[in-house]
Chains A and B, each alone.
Chain A
Amino acid sequence: MLFNDDLIELPDDIFLLLRDYIRNYCGMYFDDNSKYMLQRRLSRRVRLHQFKTFKDYYHFLTYDRRKDEELVEVIDSLTTNETYFFREDVQLKAFTDEIMPELAESKKGDRRLRIWSAGCSTGEEPYTLAMLLMEKGYTSRLDIEIIGSDINQKVLASARRGVYKRGSFRSTNEAYLSRHFKEEQGGSFKISDEVKKYVSFSYLNLFDRYKLSFLDSLDVIFCRNVIIYFDIESKKKLVDTFYSKLAPGGYLLLGHAESLMNISTAFELVHLKNDMVYQKPLRTHAALPAEKR
């Protein structure tokens, strides 16, 4: 390697053990082609602990009392994903112009509407949703609650700060930028408190049933460009979780390259004018006695 001669050798068996370790923890799956990425991103951690080999580092992750803290660092090293405001605008249009009117109409006595942005990275997605709902007037008609979650503590800290560089605004209309952000020194922009108040952030492993138990009766789940990192079994588990967390008639919005093909048949594929989305059927009553399902 011309530019990466400070990499520590990662034997195939240790790669497989590390991969299983990470998969068991959070469902993320690294195929054989990702070995180099894993090696590149974790070599620094190996050196930091004065280990000479990945095998010793694996033992550290397996046995040491600091393994939980280290696992957080591992996940932080492997999951930093770049995102930006108003990403996949066609889907956002389907959300504001088609899904929201239907959901708002269905909220007769109960004004509460809960949206989960699962795998929100540095917060661009939940803040985008908040801005859109404000602009369309939904925030004055409904009690909007947007929950952004991620397994990476560093990106969540950044999301809570709400300060972004120009790269995050590649798809942002200037009007949104001037209305909802304040320019700071060094060319950064800080999201307004008015937007922030609709969004909360949670440090969540999507496979941690205990911590997920507080999320319920959701109306919309955005999980875009996240399930691509999981193997098929983990995808199935995750989509089952989404199903159980959504209220009947609730929507699941995946990334444009993602689908539930070969993952789940529990959702209905709804052809909207702007996009195709998944919906939990309104009729989810047990067609069979519970123990048979």
Chain B
Amino acid sequence: MAIERDVFGMISDDDPETRRQAALALGEADGAGAVGPLLKAVGDPDWRVRKTAVESLLRIGGDEVVEGLYRLLSSDDNAGARNSAAEALTKLGAAASRFLCSKVGGPDADVRKFVVDIIGEIADKDSAPALITALEDEDVNVRASAVEYLGRLKVPEAVEPLIGLLRTEDQWLAFNAAAALGELGDKRAIAPLLEAAGDRCLREPAVEALGMLGDPEAWPVLLDALSDPVPVIREKAIKGLARIHMEASDKQGLVDAFRRKADRDAVDFIIGCLAQEETALKTAAAYILGAVREKSASEALANLLLYDDTQEAAGRALLEIARDGVEPMLFLLTNEEGIIRAATASILGEAGDHRVVNFLIPLLTDEEGHTRRAAARSLGRLGDRKAVEPLLGLLRDEYGDVQDEAVLALGNLAGPELVGRLKELAQDDDPSFRKNIAGLVGMVDGPGAYEVLAGLMKDEEAEVRKAAVEALARGDVEKALRGMLTVVTDEDPEVRLAAVNALAGLRTKEAAQPLMLLMGDVDPWVRAAAARGLAGTGSPEAASLLAPLLDNSYGPVRIAAVEALGETKSPEALPVIKAHIRDSDPEIRKASAAALVNFPEEDLLGELAGMLKDEDWSVRLAAVEAIGRLGAPGSREILEGVLASTDEDIVKKTAREFL
């Protein structure tokens, strides 16, 4: 679109809104001559005009824009123009970076500093040589920026120059170099950083960097730093110790060294860090206190259970402490916070000390559902039968997930002798209770269990019948099959779906017939599950029965049919699958790519490579996965091509994993 002459006048109008509109219009037009006026507008006194001009220039792009913006970096008298130009160049990315790399040796120190900052922010790996050159700049600010950005860039060639800077007389530069070496993560820096940690001025960044490198060689130095008079150094040491211990193979050796070296003050300081603001510090402190099993930290750790960002770390630390003995933790079971009671119940169950059973049973009547659930789970793990009766009471809990947990716990605890009792309980008036009884009968099994379940499969409530179906599937195959045949015509689709899933799980030829019947069910999810199940029965008729399902109008049924056809590995299935790699539905294309993996003898790379041009990234990902799984000759070259050409991180990552 050509630019109206008016617009060039408007960019100099007195009214900022008019100038802003002009800057907007210049960016939207593709006429020549827009760049000059827009560069002028980058220096406008109104921030809205400057921002609009920058956005318009970004839209236009190209060498003229990059060079023009670079010139604006020299606008000594207009900070707004300079900052806006720097912002725009950063947003232009690699194109600007390539140009600016040739300007690191420019005459003006302020401009060189801008250039290094912009290159650094863009973080194009190709800019490393320019940043290394800037380490020699005569201006200290330029050098300091180069150091910082080389750390972020993580290129190995920066390691030696940065190590060299540790010994420079300029403390500021050396400080930044130590920090950058931590970011870089190269083990060559360990020895120089250990030496730097002895220098009062470099101690803080060196301790932090050693922690980031995570090497056990730094353990004694970081233990020393726990007694440093400067709190921030102690905090950095804690983070480093946590990281080193996490990655170490000889963890016990590190713990022993900690116990020998760290005094009460050091331990108390770590406990104090649990109450600090910073999450990373709190989780590192929790980790270390758990690793050294510091009993006196229990209460402070328990407080961290209340927060999402620290709950897991605190829980793991408490679990470690509990492994040395549960006594320091029992008092937490009566804490006023339900979350702490629940978490402690989980931790004690995980620790596996049977002495806690008597403390956990009262929690089954706790006022909070989370606590009752956690107690039930732990009692199930601990396996003490004295919990059976209290747990049976929980089958009537107001919350479904608490009931489910009680069923699982009882299934772990009780044996076949309970079946007789459950038969009586199956007559209860409460359908939820009967549902739970069904689940439990399936778990304890034993003589008479089938009869109880057969009765519950005729229950008036669908949820009870469904639970009975699921329970039956866990037992004897023959009985399960017999039972399923009575419910495949149930009026409730949820029950039929449970029956289909149960039949599919049996993976026997005998299940094929009812599954074929259910492939014609009115509910699409039942049909889809039946199709998947049929493939697992090994029925020779499966492929011919599954193929027509692809004409179905419902996506999940078609997806299931493709997946199932693949699973049959039948020669009859292959052409059907191949015919659908260009289906209009991307989910079918993906399922087809995955299904082809079942035919490793066939030459399918051509078909799959064609799918790498699909418009949908998830289809391209499915093709990459299939190519990787097939591992056929030629796969490597294709995956290398994907790595070089794709923009999607997830596709690249998957290709890289297979390579």
Contacts and interface: CB of A to CB of B under 8 A. Distances in A.
Interface of A: 1-3, 12-13, 16-17, 50, 56, 59-60, 62-64, 262, 265-266, 268-269, 281, 283-284, 286-289, 292-293
A40 B587 CA distance: 25
A3 B312 contact: yes
Nearest to A285: B17
B350 A2 contact: yes
Nearest to A268: B48
24 contacts: A1-B312, A2-B315, A2-B347, A2-B350, A3-B311, A3-B312, A3-B343, A12-B650, A13-B650, A50-B494, A56-B556, A59-B555, A63-B555, A265-B47, A265-B48, A265-B52, A281-B17, A287-B15, A287-B17, A288-B4, A288-B21, A288-B25, A289-B4, A292-B7
A13 B653 CA distance: 11
Contacts of B20: 265
A293 B48 contact: no
A287 B18 contact: yes
Contacts of A60: 556
A50 B28 CA distance: 51
B17 A288 contact: no
Contacts, number: 77
A293 B556 contact: no
Given A50-B494, A288-B25, A2 B316 contact: yes
B556 A59 contact: yes
B25 A293 contact: yes
Interface in B47-76: 47-49, 51-52, 55
A288 B7 contact: yes
B319 interface: yes
Nearest to A291: B1
Contacts of B55: 265
Interface in B19-33: 20-22, 24-25, 28-29
Contacts of A56: 556
B623 to A, nearest CB: 12
A266 B311 CA distance: 44
A291 to B, nearest CB: 9
A59 B587 CA distance: 8
B559 interface: yes
Q: How many interface residues does chain B have, given as a range?
A: 35 or more
Given A50-B497, A63-B555, A281-B17, A2 B22 contact: no
Nearest to B554: A63
A4 to B, nearest CB: 8
B142 to A, nearest CB: 27
Contact of B24 (A2, A268, A283, A293): A293
B642 interface: no
A268 B24 CA distance: 16
B589 to A, nearest CB: 14
Nearest to A263: B51
Contact of B501 (A17, A50, A284): A50
B193 interface: no
B10 interface: yes
B346 interface: yes
A63 B17 contact: no
B566 to A, nearest CB: 15
Interface in B304-331: 311-312, 315-316, 319
A92 B309 CA distance: 31
Nearest to A63: B555
Contacts of B159: none
B22 A3 contact: no
Contacts of B22: 287-288
Interface string B583-602: 00001000000000000000
B24 A62 contact: no
Contacts of B621: 13
B375 interface: no
Nearest to B55: A265
Q: Give 3 nearest A-B pairs by CB, closest first.
A: A63-B555, A287-B21, A265-B48
A2 B346 contact: yes
Contacts of B24: 293
B587 A62 contact: yes
B498 interface: yes
A237 to B, nearest CB: 15
B561 to A, nearest CB: 13
A281 B20 CA distance: 12
Interface string B1-45: 000101100100101011011101100110000000000000000
A50 B497 CA distance: 9
